[in-house]
Amino acid sequence: MSTDAAPAQSRLWQPPIVGLVTFVLMFVAVGLGHTLMVLIEHQLGRETTLAVSPLLGFTGIIMLWYGVKSKNETFQTWIGFFGALVVWMCWVEFFYMWYGRMNWGMLPRMDGVDGLEVSGTYPEYMIMGSTVGTLLMMLCFYTFDKDTRCNMFLWIQNKLGLREGLGPTTKTAKDRNYAIITFMETFFVTWFCYAWNLLTFDPGLMGRGDLFVGINLASVFIAVVWAGFCLTRLIQFRRTATALRYAIPVGNIAWVNVEILEKLDLMSHAVFIDPWAYKLEASVIFGAFLTLVALLLLAPKKPSEMGRRVNPAD
Amino acid sequence: MDGSRTVNAPHHTRRALPALVLLLAAGGASAEKLTMPDGMGGVPDIGAIPCSVFSAMMERGPLGTRHSLITWSAGYLKAASGKTLQHLADAAGAGGAPWTYQKLGDELEAWCTANPTAMTADAAASVAAKLGVAVPVAAAP
């Protein structure tokens, strides 16, 4: 949360508006990420998309490169977020899609009473589910990193009694580059939430009966409580850049519910994955998303968010 | 009904009961629906699904779905002709365009796309005809 010496003056951009706007934006962004994938596939054609996706992924890295060189925290945050989305989409989703569908010859999981409906667990998601061990191993880095500022990992470090052993952090806020931080945060949060959904959806682990329903309803409970708790903290934020970064996991954890409720046939997010069938609705949501982005870009910033730090001695 | 049969009836019943139980048990087992192992994709019998389902599976897993039906067709052709798929493909391609793995898949896929309400086994029968395999009516899917 902000401790800037010279806070921006605005009657509108105060708690809880900053937190609520960033939460809605990040929640919708997850859905629109699905839409973006579908649109790219549609425009380029699936085979072309899969062929060029490794190269397309580099655009995310180029974005990150620009972001890291910038001194503007707001710019770093936005560029880190969008860069990670591009890299996730191209180097994970599309690449797994090529491996599963076109290279390894995997078949989609089937669903329905007679087992003749293609479920949403396409080959790429079957592969992704198997990466949970790699994910947990990578998260060990943040669990045992003394310089992490993520509240969740700080909480884990405290619970594990690691703070003393790890020692004091050697970095201050101005030592941090928020482009790479946001980039990695977005990537890992997306990966974590996918893995969460894919594990609880896996009939090989959960079966197709009471355990499956029970585990997924428990997931809804956890996701609602977790996202709700984080939201109560988020709505206290004043700085838009900080709120944006905090809203990334909050929006993604909230989205876990959307996937589960769809899996249980209790709702649908078809507007995001079949935008042609819902042109008006998809356009309205996209318009609202762009409006929120514009509002956040225009929102008054504190000097530190713009790369101008106030020296308390002045 | 004569007297002797009436007299022997309890003896026959004692012998028939276990057989009846076995028959019923066997009948119950055969009625159980085949399902895939939970974690796997696909269907247990790719030759016995509607072509519309096959096409939907092709959308999400083209290589594997196509390969499953080619493999199923190979068994079907072997049963109908006594020859392997490779043998039949070599013979059919000898006089013209070769029958490749790709062409086999294309034929099956195209037939199913054109006949969404038919069964995938019908697609295999169509390929069998093109490969010069006479499918007996009794053996036809």
Contacts (Cβ under 8 Å, ≥6 apart) of A18: A235, A237, A238, A239, A240, A243, A299
Q: For B98-114, how does the pLDDT look when each residue is reduced to its tens digit (9 = 90+)? A: 999 999 999 999 999 99
Helices (H) and strands (E) in chain A, counts: 14, 2
- Residue B7: per-residue pLDDT: 40
Say yes or no: A100 contacts chain B, CB-CB below 8 A: yes
Question: Which residue, chain included where needed, has tokens 């929120």?
Answer: A292
In this predicted structure, the answer to whether residue B2 has a pLDDT above a threshold of 70 is no
> Which residues in chain A come in under a pLDDT of 70?
1-9, 308-314
Q: Is the dihedral of CA A24, A251, A86, A84 positive or negative?
A: positive
CB contact under 8 A, A108 and B43: no
Contacts of A105 in chain B (CB under 8 A): 61, 63-64, 67
Say yes or no: B120 contacts chain A, CB-CB below 8 A: no
Contacts of B120 in chain A (CB under 8 A): none
Contacts of B61 in chain A (CB under 8 A): 100-101, 105-108, 122-123
CB contact under 8 A, A101 and B61: yes
Q: Is the dihedral of CA A82, A60, A35, A92 positive or negative?
A: negative
CB contact under 8 A, A108 and B50: no
In this predicted structure, the answer to whether residue B125 has a pLDDT above a threshold of 60 is yes
C-alpha distances (whole Å) from A105 to each of A78, A109, B60, B106 are 37, 13, 10, 16
Cβ atoms of A81 and A244 within 8 Å: the answer is yes
| Token pair listed for B61 | 């897993």
Q: What is the DSSP letter of B41?
A: -
ipTM of the complex, rounded to two decimals = 0.84
Cβ atoms of A106 and B64 within 8 Å: the answer is yes
Contacts (Cβ under 8 Å, ≥6 apart) of B131: B77, B88, B89, B91, B92, B99
Query: In terms of domains, do B73 and B23 share one?
Result: no
CB contact under 8 A, B41 and A116: no
CA A120/CA A134 separation, integer angstroms: 23
pLDDT band for B16, please (50, 70, 90 cuts). low
Query: In terms of domains, do B100 and B126 share one?
Result: yes
Cβ atoms of B89 and B104 within 8 Å: the answer is yes
pTM: predicted TM-score of the whole model, two decimal places: 0.86
- Residue B33: per-residue pLDDT: 87
**Total count of domains within chain B:** 2
Q: Which domain holds residue B94?
A: 46-130
Q: Is A110 helix (H, G, I), strand (E, B) or coil?
A: strand
Query: In terms of domains, do B110 and B71 share one?
Result: yes
- Residue A2: per-residue pLDDT: 42
Say yes or no: A211 contacts chain B, CB-CB below 8 A: no
Q: What is the DSSP string of A214-273?
A: HHHHHHHHHHHHHHHHHHHHHTT---HHHHHHHHHHHHHHHHHHHHHHHHTTS---HHHH
Query: In terms of domains, do B121 and B58 share one?
Result: yes
B69 min Cα distance to partner chain A (Å): 12
Q: Number of Cβ pairs closer than 8 Å across A and B? A: 71
CA A248/CA A259 separation, integer angstroms: 17
Q: Is residue B140 part of a domain?
A: no
B101 min Cα distance to partner chain A (Å): 14
Q: Is residue B39 part of a domain?
A: no
Q: For A141-165, how does the pLDDT look when each residue is reduced to its tens digit (9 = 90+)? A: 999 998 888 889 999 999 999 988 9
Q: CA A313: distance to chain centroid?
A: 38
- Residue A172: per-residue pLDDT: 77
Contacts of A215 in chain B (CB under 8 A): none
CB contact under 8 A, A202 and B39: yes
pLDDT band for B134, please (50, 70, 90 cuts). confident
C-alpha distances (whole Å) from A226 to each of A51, A189, A250, B129 are 38, 14, 8, 61
Chain A interface test: which of B55, B60, B66 (most A C-beta within 10 Å): B60
The DSSP H or E segment spanning A54 is helix A46-69
Query: In terms of domains, do B77 and B106 share one?
Result: yes
What one-letter code names the amino acid at B57? M
Cβ atoms of A126 and A97 within 8 Å: the answer is no
Q: For B79-101, how does the pLDDT look when each residue is reduced to its tens digit (9 = 90+)? A: 999 999 999 999 998 878 899 99
Contacts of B36 in chain A (CB under 8 A): 110, 115
Q: Is residue B38 part of a domain?
A: no
Q: Is residue B138 part of a domain?
A: no
Say yes or no: B117 contacts chain A, CB-CB below 8 A: no
Residue of B nearest to A209 (CA): B38
CB contact under 8 A, B56 and A100: no
